[in-house]
Amino acid sequence: MVQILELFGGIGSPRCALRNIGIPVKAIDYVEIDEKAVRSYNAMFSEELRYKTQSVVGWNLKPDILIHGSPCQDFSIAGHQGKAKAEGGRINRGKGADEGSGTRSSLMWETIHIIEQMGEWRPRYVIWENVKNVLSRYMRANFDRYIKEMERLGYSSSFKILDAREFGLPQARERVFTVSTLGEKAFSFDDLIKTPMRDIKEFLLPDAPPVYDVTQPSVLSVIGEKGIRRATVIQDYAYTITARQDRTPAQVIDMGNGRYRYLTELECWRLQGYTDEDFKAAAAVHEKNGRYKMALYKQAGNSIPVPIFESLFRKILLNQTMEVKK
């Protein structure tokens, strides 16, 4: 049994990964501010979340692994320029994640405080996922400080940009994964099990209802265009799944005869590695907001590819790695 603490828990990608690879898991806590994400999570794990009998003897609240995919809006260039605009056009790039800046991206410092508050106890592993921009010139100082703070708490850290396509999913999604290991020995990403990208046809519905058809002239007019206002036609893989699909920059599927459609909510969940059962459980507890169940798009867009966690946990907990050819 592995005990996890999920901060910024969303729809529970690490927990899904542990379940998928057959590791019994106890989420000793799950912390998430968005009511709709909590609703999905509860529906997906309804069987395990029920109170079961247990004894206080041997009970503990000490996580073996802490996972935090803290918000990234102010790390991303788009988010940052938006903020700068709101501040009267000044681009104050350095503030994206400064401690005490009040930005969403600075919430990762809360994780450091939470670990400090654990007293003597430390999780064996802390895994942090974020956008590639955390490594950019303007954000790097905060990224390096995070590593330093983890070092102060007794961890050795290593990080790597991982792309969902290397883990079987036909979605271009590059994110920085930082694994901090308690003690001197840092985690190596070199021998992670990777999987060939699967055919996108396995993920797409053969007969999506017409409600997903692109009808807005503003999107139809930019299909095939480049630049900020664009709609890219999906070929072998999808582009990064975002919180909304029906806004430019968009990605669309060419249905032939001049017909284009958006990805459905289910397709977005599949492209993040969720099972159809996970999706159905979550979909059952949400209403449509206009044409779509917008909360489900947002949850998929915010989430982390499940197979990446499967691979990380296989190595960390089961010692399963890629075989090195001799």
Ligand X SMILES: C[S@@+](CC[C@H](N)C(=O)[O-])C[C@H]1O[C@@H](n2cnc3c(N)ncnc32)[C@H](O)[C@@H]1O
Binding site for ligand X (CB under 6 A): 8-13, 31-34, 37, 69, 71, 104, 107, 302-304
Among residues 252 and 299, whose Cβ is nearest to ligand X?
A: 299
Under the phi-then-psi rule, with left for phi > 0, alpha for psi from -120 to 50, and beta for the rest, what region is 297?
Answer: alpha
Pairing of strands 259-261, 250-256: antiparallel
Q: Give CA–CA dist 113/4, Å, rounded.
A: 17
Q: Give CA–CA dist 80/46, Å, rounded.
A: 37
Q: Shortest distance, CB of residue 225 to ligand X, whole angstroms?
A: 29
Residue with nearest beta carbon to ligand X: 10
As a residue count, the chain comes to 326
Cis peptide before 249 (omega within 30 of 0): yes
Among residues 261 and 299, whose Cβ is nearest to ligand X?
A: 299
Among residues 264 and 303, whose Cβ is nearest to ligand X?
A: 303
Q: Shortest distance, CB of residue 137 to ligand X, whole angstroms?
A: 22
Q: Shortest distance, CB of residue 74 to ligand X, whole angstroms?
A: 12
3-state secondary structure (DSSP) of residue 259: strand
For residue 224, how many other CB atoms are within 10 A of its CB?
10
Contacts of 224 (CB under 8 A, 6+ apart): 231, 232, 233
Structure-token match 């320029």, residue found: 81
Q: Give CA–CA dist 18/303, Å, rounded.
A: 15
Residue 205 carries which side chain, given as an amino acid letter?
Answer: L
Q: Shortest distance, CB of residue 130 to ligand X, whole angstroms?
A: 8
DSSP 171-190: B--EEEEEEEEESSPPP--T
Q: Shortest distance, CB of residue 203 to ligand X, whole angstroms?
A: 18
Q: Shortest distance, CB of residue 298 to ligand X, whole angstroms?
A: 8
Among residues 13 and 251, whose Cβ is nearest to ligand X?
A: 13
DSSP-assigned beta bridge partners for residue 26: 3
Q: Give CA–CA dist 263/97, Å, rounded.
A: 32
Q: Shortest distance, CB of residue 229 to ligand X, whole angstroms?
A: 25
Q: Shortest distance, CB of residue 280 to ligand X, whole angstroms?
A: 17
Among residues 109 and 155, whose Cβ is nearest to ligand X?
A: 109
Among residues 230 and 286, whose Cβ is nearest to ligand X?
A: 286
Among residues 28 and 220, whose Cβ is nearest to ligand X?
A: 28
Q: Shortest distance, CB of residue 223 to ligand X, whole angstroms?
A: 29
The answer to whether the beta carbons of residues 170 and 238 sit under 8 Å apart is yes
Among residues 25 and 214, whose Cβ is nearest to ligand X?
A: 25
Q: Is the dihedral of CA 41, 268, 168, 177 positive or negative?
A: negative
Among residues 8 and 138, whose Cβ is nearest to ligand X?
A: 8
Contacts of 262 (CB under 8 A, 6+ apart): 212, 214, 245, 246, 250, 251, 252, 253
